[in-house]
Amino acid sequence: MNKSIWMAVVLALGGCASAPDTKFEASNEAKDIAQKYILVDGHIDVPYRLQDKWVDVTKATSDGDFDYPRAKAGGLNAPFMSIYIPASLDDSPQSTALAHKLIDYVEAIVGRAPDKFAIAKSPADVEAQFAQGLISLPMGMENGSPLQGSMDNLKLFYERGIRYITLAHSLANHISDSSYDIRRKWKGLSPFGKDLVVEMNNLGIMIDISHVSDDAFYQVIELSKAPVIASHSSLRRFTPGFERNMDDDMLKALANNGGVVMINFGSTFVDQVSRGWRITMGEKRKAIEAEFGADSPELENFEEEYKKNNPFPYANVDTVVEHVDHVVKLVGIEHVGIGSDYDGVGDSLPIGLKDVSTYPNLVQGLLDKGYSEEDIAKILGKNLLRVWSEVEEYASKH
């Protein structure tokens, strides 16, 4: 599809007519594959984006990474809506209230446009809705804080549609240690966290190990009787020292468990140069704060000025493809998927993957690597749907 036709398609859907990056423009074959198969994205932060500022994503929006026209153009069929709870609210009634509010937002999206969207609570829902031309909105909770140590809360959130839970976020909570938190409060999972793994298995909620510490990851793998997921993680091989990503031993353990890692698109997740830039900027900011104070004029426009003088080194489609390819070569095609983190990683998205209209560029990168249509279909969605089905099957017997 040439650029003028692409723009016409998006305009016809009511979307923004900004063209894809020409260097990574996808072929007709790539675009056809993206439309032909169910495309699951394990993590999109639309609900919290709406918490910051309500916009109607059932129509074209002028900002953000997701709306209906762009999702249709990109072939996105099943974006997991992230019910994200900031660590600042950990283990509080406010965290539970916010989780319910964000689920309400997802329901409101469907209520505004039932001809475009539908809540999905099972792989069967996703498949049926795909056949009807609807975009499924399954939900995952990012940060288990809203559970507040209650299995009754777990069951309530299951009833409302939560189908995976990221056990912790940027700080240790009452469930698990976090990869970002230097305090290892539990040395992995808490006693409640260990019980929670068992109950999530029994109920049919996928366990998401993105964000947790390495010790917590291995404890989950040891305890879980069903496959687990990393809903939006990339690979430590390409970002040495970044515990938020997964190393090769973890990938092997995840594969032995039958699980899937869903690759995060953020440049600082997939590229060491991008990550180094972010670290250096943070260090310079801390130095200025230490010298002049947190409220000093020197910090007023710091980030804007720093970026102007030191342009951010974006990753690109090929960088993300390298992460996918490494998983495939290490543990097999069945254990990798997509977890973009759209609307969650700010302006750090790679060149060629700037919003949900650009999945065909990723498909093109996989085609260029020699991947078959059948294998690409697994990466796009079949792998995650398999895991979800196996989690359901285990729960049905317990």
How far is residue 15 from each of residues 22, 65, 100, 303, 317, measured CA to CA in Å?
19, 12, 30, 31, 22
Contact 166, 262 (CB under 8 A): no
Q: Per this entry, what is the length of the chain?
A: 398
Q: Where are the alpha helices (DSSP H) in the chain?
A: 3-12, 28-36, 46-52, 68-74, 93-112, 123-131, 151-160, 191-203, 214-223, 248-257, 267-270, 272-292, 302-309, 317-331, 359-368, 373-377, 383-396
Can you read off the two tokens belonging to residue 373?
Answer: 């249509």
- The amino acid occupying position 26 is A
Q: Kindly give the confidence (pLDDT) of every residue in the chain, 398 residues in length, as a single tens digit, with 9 standing for 90 and above.
A: 333 333 333 333 333 333 344 477 899 999 999 999 999 999 999 999 999 899 999 999 999 999 999 999 999 999 999 999 999 999 899 999 999 999 999 999 999 999 999 999 999 999 999 999 999 999 999 999 999 999 999 999 999 999 999 999 999 999 999 999 999 999 999 999 999 999 999 999 999 999 999 999 999 999 999 999 999 999 999 999 999 999 999 999 999 999 999 999 999 999 999 999 999 999 999 999 898 888 888 888 898 899 999 999 999 999 999 999 999 999 999 999 999 999 999 999 999 999 999 999 999 999 999 999 999 999 999 999 999 999 999 999 99
What b/e string do you get for 73-94 counting C-beta neighbours within 10 Å, with b at 16 or more?
Answer: bbbbbbbbbbbbbbbebbbeee
Residue closest to 146 by CA, chosen among 158, 129, 137, 132: 158
Secondary structure (3-state) at 119: strand
134-192 per-position pLDDT tens digit: 999 999 999 999 999 999 999 999 999 999 999 999 999 999 999 999 999 999 999 99
CB atoms within 10 A of CB 161: 20
Q: Which CATH class is domain 23-271+315-396?
A: alpha beta
| Rounded Cα gap, residues 5 and 1, in angstroms | 6
Write the CB contacts of 104 (distance below 8 Å, at least 6 apart in sequence). Answer: none
- Phi and psi at residue 118, to the nearest 5°: -150, 140
